């Protein structure tokens, strides 16, 4: 459903899957062969640096992609595997790659929900998270990685999931945004794996960074990064307003709200829309705008008196 504040998405990305492409000096992209409704053309694995490099998001555990990445770094010294977050389409190949290259795994921390689960609550994205994967080197807000001619700066950006980070080129215009900001679609936020409250905080933080060219984990580069990020921010707040307007007409069940807020969404994306809707509803409950009765997806929502 397009609204007045809907971002202008770019779906014309047509990469050479498995082939290294130089995007800027010291920045190479290899797209993994895992295209799908939630991964678009596939996961973007980035090789950053000149003689010394890191691999950002090695992607799915795929033999062809593993071979493509090894070929792309031939003659270079890999200093580590750096993950924007630990969903399996980004991290499944990471342990194998780190072992083969004898380098550390670097990320914010182990995969976890963005909030404690309630009694009998199930995380619908649990199977997508790389639970149990441990970092060899824990990155924090402001952590720096020295690659000689290129330096990287880490910025915490929870929202899509709890351990999400974005990675800036020190002194440069480029920012690796993972799944937090993508040009082809808005980020999936599935409560409790993700948090809309955290997403808003992180996107405001990203907008105020000096970097303006975003390299997402799916889709092509976003040249006007802060402007596009502001569109995403406004779009999410517009969704909250739509939900409040819908409930002003009377209480509604979850699936009734889904049909009203996303009337034209394709069937194969409805599960993601339901997850995102639930994140918005949890955000509005937390901010005391609405209240609910019932369990799991069989909930009844109404404006708070």
At 5, the pLDDT band (50, 70, 90 cuts) reads low
Domain 21-233: state its class.
alpha beta
Percent of the chain with pLDDT over 90: 89
- Rounded to whole angstroms, the Cα distance separating 71 from 84 reads 22
Q: Which pair of structure tokens corresponds to residue 90?
A: 């980004």
- pLDDT the model gives residue 183: 94
Q: Over range 199-228, report the average pLDDT.
A: 98
Hunting for tokens 């404006």 — which residue is that? Answer: 303
Instruction: Calculate the CA 181 to chain-centre distance.
Output: 7
pLDDT at residue 1 is higher than 80: no
Residues with Cβ within 8 Å of 201's Cβ and at least 6 positions away in sequence, in order, are 158, 159
pLDDT at residue 3 is higher than 60: no
Is residue 225 helix, strand or coil?
helix
The rounded mean pLDDT for the chain is 94
pLDDT digits (tens, 9 = 90+) for 111-156: 999 999 988 888 999 999 999 999 999 999 999 999 999 999 999 9
65-69, 84-88, 241-245, 253-257: the lowest-pLDDT one: 253-257
Domain ranges of the chain: 21-233, 235-303
Hunting for tokens 């609910």 — which residue is that? Answer: 292
- Rounded to whole angstroms, the Cα distance separating 50 from 105 reads 20
Find, among 290, 286, 298, the residue nearest to 247 by Cα.
290
- pLDDT the model gives residue 195: 96
pLDDT at residue 251 is higher than 50: yes
User: Does the predicted TM-score (pTM) go above 0.75?
Assistant: yes
pLDDT at residue 75 is higher than 60: yes
Crossing angle of helices 196-207 and 270-286, in 10° steps, is 90
Hunting for tokens 């409040």 — which residue is that? Answer: 244
- pLDDT the model gives residue 297: 59
CA dihedral 176, 180, 183, 186 (to 10 degrees): 180
DSSP, res 267: G
Please say whether the beta carbons of 58 and 44 come within 8 A. no
CB crowding 60-71: b at 16 or more within 10 Å, else e: bbbeebbebbee
pLDDT at residue 192 is higher than 80: yes
Is residue 148 helix, strand or coil?
coil
Please say whether the beta carbons of 81 and 103 come within 8 A. yes
- CATH domain 235-303 topology: Arc Repressor Mutant, subunit A (1.10.10)
At 296, the pLDDT band (50, 70, 90 cuts) reads low
Instruction: Identify the residue with better confidence: 4 or 53.
Output: 53
Crossing angle of helices 270-286 and 254-261, in 10° steps, is 110
The 10 Å Cβ neighbour count of residue 245 is 11
Question: Any bridge partners for residue 178, and if so which?
Answer: 216
- pLDDT the model gives residue 139: 98
Q: Over range 2-28, report the average pLDDT.
A: 87
Percent of the chain with pLDDT over 70: 97
Q: Over range 13-42, report the average pLDDT.
A: 96
At 236, the pLDDT band (50, 70, 90 cuts) reads very high
Please say whether the beta carbons of 175 and 124 come within 8 A. no
Q: Over range 97-114, report the average pLDDT.
A: 98
pLDDT digits (tens, 9 = 90+) for 137-146: 999 999 999 9
DSSP, res 194: S
Same fold: 21-233 with 235-303: no
């Amino acid at each position: 459903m397009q609204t007045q504040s809907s971002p202008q998405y770019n779906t014309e990305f047509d990469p050479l899957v498995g082939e290294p492409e130089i995007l800027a000096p010291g920045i190479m992209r290899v797209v993994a062969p895992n295209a799908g409704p939630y991964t678009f053309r596939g996961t973007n694995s980035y090789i950053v640096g000149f003689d010394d490099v890191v691999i950002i998001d090695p992607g799915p555990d795929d033999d062809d992609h593993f071979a493509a990445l090894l070929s792309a770094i031939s003659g270079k010294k890999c200093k580590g595997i750096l993950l924007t977050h630990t969903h399996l389409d980004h991290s499944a190949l990471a342990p194998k790659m780190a072992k083969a290259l004898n380098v550390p795994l670097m990320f914010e921390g182990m995969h976890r929900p963005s909030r404690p689960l309630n009694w009998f609550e199930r995380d619908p994205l649990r199977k997508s998270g790389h639970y149990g994967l441990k970092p060899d080197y824990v990155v924090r807000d402001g952590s720096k990685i020295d690659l000689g001619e290129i330096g990287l700066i880490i910025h915490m950006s929870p929202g899509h999931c709890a351990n999400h980070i974005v990675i800036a080129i020190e002194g440069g215009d480029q920012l690796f945004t993972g799944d937090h900001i993508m040009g082809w679609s808005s980020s999936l936020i599935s409560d409790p794996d993700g948090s809309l409250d955290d997403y808003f905080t992180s996107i405001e933080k990203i907008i105020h960074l000096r970097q303006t060219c975003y390299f997402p984990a799916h889709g092509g580069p976003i040249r006007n990064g802060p402007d596009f990020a502001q569109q995403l921010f406004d779009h999410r707040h517009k969704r909250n307003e739509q939900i409040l307007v819908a409930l002003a007409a009377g209480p509604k069940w979850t699936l009734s709200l889904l049909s009203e807020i996303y009337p034209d969404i394709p069937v194969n994306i409805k599960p993601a829309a339901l997850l995102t809707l639930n994140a918005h509803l949890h955000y509005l409950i937390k901010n005391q705008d609405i209240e609910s009765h019932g369990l799991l997806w069989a909930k009844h929502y109404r404006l708070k008196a």
